Every structure is written in structure tokens, then in C-alpha cells.
Amino acid sequence: MKPSIPPGGEIAVIGAGIVGVCCAVELLDAGYRVCLIDQAKPGTFGPSKANAGHIAGASILPLASPTTFRATPGLLLDRQSPLYIPLSYRLKVIPWLMRFAWSCRERTFMNGVHALASLNSMLWNCTDDLYARAGITGLLKKPGAIFLYESERSYRQAQTAWALSKTFGIETSPLPVEQLMKLEPHLKPHYAGAIHTANWGVVVDPQKIVHGIAKHAIETGARLIRARVNSIARTTEGVELMLDSGERLERDGAVITAGAWSKHLTRQLGENIPLEVERGYNITTSSPDTSINHALIFADQGVVATQLSDALRVGGLDELGGLDIPADPALEQRVLETARDLFSDLDTTDATSWMGHRPSMPDSLPVIGRAKKTGRILYAFGHGHYGLTHAPATGTLIADLAVGRSSQIDTAPFSSTRFL
């Protein structure tokens, strides 16, 4: 395979969130010179700052599914559902919802399962290796996850999804409620069933993960440029970037890893990629009397809980609301009330709320690949809930594409051209 970017060339990585810093490290390791461009310090902005911290090894089923399609009308209209669209944004999101509905077809769904299973097959090797190189293995824990179901109906319905996951090698086991309460004694005892999987990890400080990988990138040669990229264009020799400072940069290649802000740049390259903004809410509290021993996923409420190094984080909910609408205080309050409902002795006196912009694709697959019109520009965005999960593998795949070497998996399902 011919290299996309000349060996030893200089590459601009646009966006210093978790995906961007992972790409920077792998490109440096492949022999490229790298400048990492972001208006904020790595890990201080966007979902990389305060996400749930889950590494979801067992999650291979796209949200876009036949089951979700049947439930979507009720979810969108119910203010108390895990998914909500503000009234002012509903017309704007219709094109994306049409793509989402199309992606819920059985065939597209199953193609997505195969693609995500292949990406997850790289997960632990890439994550463990990168974290070791960056000196941050102490921040990664592998306690496994427990999925909780409040009703017999939701527990039974979940069995179909877990049975499908099992055919792809995902191991799970039912967890009796009595055992659940022994493992997680701070939960309120109102669950009809639970499923345990060992294929799940958590990081005890997501921000430190980004800081650590960025630090490693800089120590091994990356240059950090604090700026916003206003424009990007192809040139005969590579790419040209215009920064908000007025500075013009010419590089041999570029990788767009700007998360929910990537669409602004891909449009300039003639690609209208259906990237939407999925706003997630969470609360973090240092409640001294409440701790958990596993990653917890509350399936019926659409929220998760994570034990951080010095706090408990509860978050989730999905609001398709774009980049410009302010955070919804009602949703912040709802997450807080949900957290209180889940745990018997949770002290939320010092709880802080946060809202982040997740880059969401209608078929639940990230975009990893070459730009349509040039191999000098690579894409790595649209990871939705799974940026932390898939970032190390994405960095490896981007380096493979840049160098022109064979990848461990087929990257065609992640190409931006799948929407043509």
C-alpha cells in the first residue's frame, strides 16, 4: 500500500483530545514529525475533560438498531427518556435522524456489529501498550462492569443483545440480585436482574489520561500549538492551515481529530459528513460514604457510574442539541436526582455538574480513514460515547494509513465515503 503521507513528513494533528493525542503518539512512533494543534491545553476541553472514564470492551452493538428504531418516537417525545432533543433544535436534526433511521436496518446494524467487534479486538493490546509507554498504567483499572435492570421485562429484552454479543466472543454471566447487593452494597435494592462482564475497564481520572499521553507525545518530539484552525485546504505538496492568529501553516499532511468540531473542517474539503453533537451530562461528588467496586451501567435510566480516584461520577443522558445551545439546567438537575435515586447514602452536597459535546455518527461507527479527495488528510472523529475506548486503536490505524502498511483490521467500514 502506498503511503498517504511521505515518510518523515510533518503532520498537523488538529485537536488535542484523547483521539488526537493518541494519533500524535503513534505518528511519532511511525517516524513522522508532529504538531498538535488545539486552542485549549490537552484534556481541558470537550468530552476528554470529564467523561465517564469507561473503557467498554464488551460494547460492540451500535445504538442504531432495529430495537432502537422501534423505541425512538417515544424516546424523542418523552422529556424523561435517556434521549431528548430541544424544541429549538428539532428541525435542524431531521437529516441526521433520517440517516439514523436508515442505519437501524438489520443489515446495516449487523455490518456495524462486525465493524465494532473488529475495532474492539484491538482495544486492550493498543490501550495497554500506549498507557505503558506514556507511564499512566496506574490510572487504568479493570474491575469489569455490571449492567443493572429494574424490571423483569428489560432484563429479558437484554438477553437477545447479550446473546448476539456472545457470538462475537463477549463473555457475560448473570448476577443474582443477592450477590449484586453484596458486591455493591451502596446500591438501592430495586433491581430485577444484573449481568456481569469482565471485559470492561475504567480510568480513575480521564483528564490525567489525556495529560499523560500528551506529555509523552511532547517528550518524544511533538510540538503543541495553542490555536484554533479556521480553515484547511489541499495543496500540491500537502495541506495549508489558517490559524485564528492569522498564521498560515503548510504541512505534508493533517489528521482531523477535532471531535464534535470536525464538521467545520471537513465541509471545507467538500465532504458533508453527517456528524451530530450528542450532549452528555454528569455529576461528580466526593461523597465519602459511597463508593462502588465495578463500572455500573443502569440500563433503564441510560446512565453509568464510575469510581474515580477521589470521587464518584454519575452521568449519561443524550441530548441532540448542537454546539451552541447552553447546557440545560433541567437535565443537570435530573442527573443529580437520578444519582440520589440509585444510591442509598449518596451525599451530593459538593456535587459539580458538567456537560460535554460528543461527536456522534448516525450509524454509531467512528470515521477513521482518508479524506475523499486526498490521502494527505486523514480523519479520526465521531467516536460518540467511545472516544476513550477506541482512541488507542484509532491512533494505530491512522499511523497505518499514513505509512501505507497493512492494518490489523479492515478500515473500510469506517470510511467517510460510506455515506455517499
β-sheet bridge partners, residue 319: 84, 279
pLDDT of residue 3: 79
pTM listed for this prediction: 0.96
pLDDT of residue 79: 63
Residue 99 lies in a domain: yes
pLDDT of residue 184: 97
Residue 228 CA, distance from chain mean position: 22
pLDDT of residue 49: 87
- Report the CATH number that the domain containing residue 328 is assigned in CATH: 3.30.9.10
pLDDT of residue 77: 62
Parts of the chain with a pLDDT under 70: 73-80
Averaged pLDDT score across all residues of the chain: 94
For 332-362, give one letter per residue: b (16+ CB within 10 A) or e. Answer: bebbbebbbebbeebebeebebbbbbbbbbb
Query: What's the number of domains the chain is made of?
Result: 1
**Residue 124, all three cell numbers:** 486492550
Residue 289 lies in a domain: yes
Residue 263 lies in a domain: no
Residue 344 lies in a domain: yes
Q: What CA–CA distance (Å, rounded) separates 323 from 334?
A: 21
Residue 285 lies in a domain: yes
Residue 212 lies in a domain: no
pLDDT of residue 68: 87
The four Cα atoms 23, 202, 64, 174 give a dihedral, to 10 degrees, of: 150
pLDDT of residue 87: 83
Residue type, 29: D
Q: What CA–CA distance (Å, rounded) separates 277 from 261?
A: 9
Can you give the residue range of the structural domain that contains 289?
Answer: 70-104+140-200+275-360
Residue 348 lies in a domain: yes
Residue 54 lies in a domain: no
β-sheet bridge partners, residue 223: 35
156-175 tens-digit pLDDT: 999 999 999 999 999 999 99
93-122 tens-digit pLDDT: 999 999 999 999 999 999 999 999 999 999
